[in-house]
Structure 1
Amino acid sequence: MKKFKFIILIICLISMSFTFRGSCSGAIGGFLLYMDEFLWKPFFDKGDGLYVANGISIGRNGQIYRTTGNDTINLLPKNSGTTQDLNAIAISYHSEPFYLVVGNNGTILRSVNEGNNWMTRTSPTTNNLNDVCFGFNGYQYIVGDAGTLLRSNSLGQNWSTVSSGTTRKLNVVTAHSAQTEIIIVAGEKGTILRSSTSGFTFTNVSIPDTTFDFTCNNLSSVGNVEINNFYLAGTNGKIYRSTNFGLNWTALNSGITTNINSIFFESDDSGAVAGDNGVIRVTTNSGLTWNSDPIFNGLSGNLTSISVMPRASKTYTALSLNGMTGLSRIGVISEDSVIIVTSVKQLSSEIPSTFKLHQNYPNPFNPKTKIKFDIEKSTNVKLSIFDITGKEVALLVNTFLPLGEYEADWDAGNFASGVYFYRLYLEESKGNATVLTNKMILSK
């Protein structure tokens, strides 16, 4: 039986020892949360220019989920029309929003109604496609395995092949609206390609070091004004920066050798990277030096994304913490200056005989415990922790889950000894729900 596991770590930025300023609304990439094989992008509130906690998540076997609500996230499955693994999503806000998704075996999907319906587009390749982005001159770009480079000038409806001049795997693509649009593509063995012709032609500006792969990229931005710093990061702790629109690249000393899976700069000087083995490094001087942050000490899983989401006067940050493969889901945005660590593991996808909330184990516990529950049909699930006064002190699960057997982890390291209650809320139909409650003891 295939097993699934995901962990989501969500932290309010004001609780961290570094702060990003300004807004990234409208910037390339925006707020990105990547969890194992699931990728999430937000919707954009065009009315006030602020992000909201809604979005699209994509993942394995053609799965697409659309979220609803603002500060709570419920996942609604959507029919993608494919069973191919989906690897990247891009959302355009330059006019009416539309969405592009790419995946294995040349899969290209397009939506023009906020992700409710998806259309398969004809692809000129059967290679796996790894990333997609929107340019600023009306073009869209896709990169993939074996040097695959695709380009569209029809809002993603029709695609043509562009010569990349390489057969190496290309992992990321991004656009920069300089005086002339700049396209940067990066991939395995230090490969970097650059175009100043809106993707008609590309120049190879790869670095000499071929011992690592580029896996992520980011442009710095201050407010809605882009600057000319490009950042690429990848395996073996490698980080490179360009200050002249991708013409030349300089290695930055990250101080780590673990794989970097995500890099984010919200201003000219403030940025962060996240990687394997719980590694996070932050910089306040444009990547010249990178430092650890004590608030993240003790993380052991693989961090696959880091980013921020400004909304009104509040700023959020979100990281995903994963060490396993499988189906991942979205957590709840926190407005508290409290670290929330939530872990859920799907033990089995077999149909349980009933809804059931098992006794936590160990019990009594100090400070970690596991809570197992069974759901006999796919539904919205909420698993909460309450203290002896009835106050909700932790929210472990708040999302749509397929039927199956699950196990949630709770780390009560910041809580006092005593009796706690955990409650499972299962939505059966509109206005009807099953609520199950058990008691547990934290003994320090």
Structure 2
Amino acid sequence: MLKSTILSGLFFLSPFLSVAQWIHEPSVTDPELYDLHSDGGQLVVTGSSGVWIRENEKSGWEFKSIQSDIDLVASFTTHQQNWYAGVLDGAVYRSDNQGDSWEPLTAGYPVFGDPPQFLYPQSLTVWKNQVVTGTVGSGVYQLNGNTWQAMNSGLISNLHYNINQLFTDGDTLIASAGANGTFAYRSPDGSDWSHTPFGTFSGEILFILGGVRTDSGSLLLSATNGIYRASSVSGPFTHVAPSSRFFSFAPMVQSGDSVYVFLSRLTGSYLLTSGDDGLTWNQTQWWPGTVVYDMVTLNDTLWISTSTGVYHQAVKKTPVSVKEPELPSAFSLGIVYPNPVNPSAQFDLTVHHSTNVNLTLYSITGQILQQVYAGPVGPGSHSFRIDAAGLSSQVAFIRAEGEGRQMTRKVVILK
């Protein structure tokens, strides 16, 4: 069993405690597994020359070939009973019969070189009831009928044209592009792209690698140097889980009250989990020598495509429980009672030796709602009061910080 490492905040007792708990799908035999897609009860994973499909929980995997000379199927999506697969050097293919036959969609698709080659369709998604692809070298294209049309107004040539990831946040389309510390987004009624800075790292170019909008309304983005959090696509973003390493893949999903992200590079993959809407993160696994390319959730089960195969593992429906850190700490934070809070509540802070602490009540978007206490405390148990009389009904968090450590408790304010 791997020993968990505290990144910041709480130690979460996660359902993921050992790499051995992942169940391998041995029938998916393909050296180039990549993109994962779930649609209803159906699972699809892309491979070297086609896609693997599992119709439901009781069925096995079946391979659907696109073309024998294809090197890699890198992206996949579905729309109106049709399948769409992005192929390396081969544009996008469409199937209207569950993968039994495919047709290339090349009209209007960008090419380069002599002889001309199709640009790499790195990502596929559906936005405003249309299939959209992000290319490596020529920006974003949408499919109108059987013809691709560029939708690059507002993108910066040479910087934003290399689309690493394309996904939707509600009605907003987000494109991760190769501009230093920014990404592009487009609202449903907009004709141009807008740009949001989300951070820099030693002057290096950053990419968004994944993202989710949580049930509580926070936008979480995984990037090449960790995890960012904001309440709006326009920011500002907080670097909630910074990393000194650079990662090539970072798929992120939400299941129940928890968010999961694999930070992956050639040497291996870290699994991070958050049970408090992305405020704090905990590393629960290190998987050496395995790159996790993509991850989806289906029926309370996480599925991943990796450099060593397809795996799955069940997750718990209940919120992730909390356990005190095993490492020595200057203090421990007790539960908030009563909880829900109306109009006030209290909690205990047990201090093991004299120290300085900050006790702050935060909203779920990271806004400071109340500075409960800031200053010195001596050894022993101390009670503190939260006054919620002037606050609206919401989910909040009380955070204790001191000596470079922090602990958090969830607070429900109910009026």
- 1:302 and 1:215 mapped to 2: Cα distance? 17
- 1:141 and 1:202 mapped to 2: Cα distance? 14
User: What's the % identity of the aligned pairs?
Assistant: 13
Which 5+ residue runs of structure 2 have no aligned equivalent? 1-11, 17-27, 112-118, 317-415
Which residue identity is paired with 2:51?
I
8 A Cα contact 1:171 1:215, kept in partner: yes
1:89 alignment counterpart: 76
Larger Rg: 2
Is 249-258 or 163-172 further displaced after alignment? 249-258
How has the CA–CA distance of structure 1 residues 230 and 43 changed in structure 2, closer, same or farther, with 3 Å as cutoff?
Answer: closer
- 1:171 and 1:121 mapped to 2: Cα distance? 21
How has the CA–CA distance of structure 1 residues 208 and 69 changed in structure 2, closer, same or farther, with 3 Å as cutoff?
Answer: closer
Q: How does 1:319-338 map to 2 (within 5 A)?
A: 319-322=304-307, 329-330=309-310
Q: How does 1:73-222 map to 2 (within 5 A)?
A: 73-80=60-67, 83-92=70-79, 96-105=80-89, 107-122=91-106, 123-126=108-111, 127-135=119-127, 137-154=128-145, 157-163=146-152, 164-168=155-159, 169-177=162-170, 181-188=171-178, 189-197=180-188, 200-207=191-198, 209=200, 210-222=203-215
Deviations 1:365-422 (A, max 9, x none): xxxxxxxxxxxxxxxxxxxxxxxxxxxxxxxxxxxxxxxxxxxxxxxxxxxxxxxxxx
- 2:59 and 2:230 mapped to 1: Cα distance? 38
SS of the residue aligned with 1:292?
strand
Which residue identity is paired with 2:176?
A
1:6 alignment counterpart: none
SS of the residue aligned with 1:142?
strand
8 A Cα contact 1:272 1:282, kept in partner: yes
How has the CA–CA distance of structure 1 residues 309 and 255 changed in structure 2, closer, same or farther, with 3 Å as cutoff?
Answer: same
SS of the residue aligned with 1:130?
strand
2:9 alignment counterpart: none
8 A Cα contact 2:164 2:177, kept in partner: yes
8 A Cα contact 1:305 1:320, kept in partner: yes
8 A Cα contact 1:130 1:170, kept in partner: yes
Q: Is 2:61 aligned against 1:65?
A: no
Q: Is 2:34 aligned against 1:44?
A: no
Which residue identity is paired with 1:55?
L
SS of the residue aligned with 2:293?
strand
- 2:209 and 2:134 mapped to 1: Cα distance? 13
- 1:260 and 1:288 mapped to 2: Cα distance? 23
Pick 1 or 2: higher relative contact order, CA cutoff 8 A, min separation 6: 1
8 A Cα contact 1:58 1:86, kept in partner: yes
- 2:286 and 2:175 mapped to 1: Cα distance? 33
8 A Cα contact 2:35 2:74, kept in partner: no
SS of the residue aligned with 2:137?
helix
1:259 alignment counterpart: 247
Q: Is 2:296 aligned against 1:270?
A: no
Residue 192 of structure 1 deviates from its aligned partner by 0.5
Report how many residues are paired. 275
- 1:100 and 1:43 mapped to 2: Cα distance? 13
Q: Over the residues paired in the alignment, what is the CA RMSD in angstroms?
A: 3.4
Residue 184 of structure 1 deviates from its aligned partner by 0.7
Deviations 1:38-60 (A, max 9, x none): 23545634xxxxx2xx4333233
Deviations 1:317-344 (A, max 9, x none): 233443xxxxx6545x56799xxxxxxx
1:279 to 270, 280, 285: 270
SS of the residue aligned with 1:262?
coil
- 2:15 and 2:121 mapped to 1: Cα distance? 34
Residue 204 of structure 1 deviates from its aligned partner by 2.2
- 1:254 and 1:90 mapped to 2: Cα distance? 31
SS of the residue aligned with 1:146?
coil
- 2:158 and 2:63 mapped to 1: Cα distance? 38
8 A Cα contact 1:81 1:118, kept in partner: no
How has the CA–CA distance of structure 1 residues 71 and 257 changed in structure 2, closer, same or farther, with 3 Å as cutoff?
Answer: farther
How has the CA–CA distance of structure 1 residues 329 and 208 changed in structure 2, closer, same or farther, with 3 Å as cutoff?
Answer: closer
Residue 133 of structure 1 deviates from its aligned partner by 0.6
Richer in helix (by share): 1
How has the CA–CA distance of structure 1 residues 289 and 255 changed in structure 2, closer, same or farther, with 3 Å as cutoff?
Answer: farther
